Amino acid sequence: MNELSHTNKLGKVKMVDIGNKKHQLRKAKASGYIRLQQNTLKLISENAITKGNVLSIAEFAGIQAVKRTSDLIPLCHPIQITNIIIIAEADNQGVTVSCEVTCIGQTGVEMEALVGVNMALLTVYDMCKAVDKTMIMENIRLDVKTKTNIQ
């Protein structure tokens, strides 16, 4: 069995030392879905949810969350993010959220992408909870994680 990277020999939690890792271009893409009632989707498309424009606010919340990931997940390193692309799109059964995060650094950005998706979905949930009691968040996943050497 492989040794866990976030615990020491005594089993105590530790932050992984990334100081000797080289800087690389790192990207991660994550996505997720929230199922909604037809009436809720109609209200979203008509911008008639009383809290505001659901898709725009969900995207904004996702961006904010990406930037705060290391504050939310105890063993995540603070990183310098160079780009965030988050898209919330409605279809005939719900809303899909996708989040792509990029940085040049010593550790990946998959947690940031996943946090962005989750917060965007939670924002849809929060904004629609007064009109929809059957919402289900599902299929939250990491789709792609890459790292590329830079000169």
Q: Which residues are catalytic?
A: 126
Q: Which residues of 3-12 are buried (b: 16+ CB within 10 A; e: fewer)?
A: eeeeeeeeee
How far apart are alpha carbons 18 and 147 in whole angstroms?
15
Q: Are 25 and 147 in contact (CB under 8 A)?
A: yes
**Is 52 strand, coil or helix?**
coil
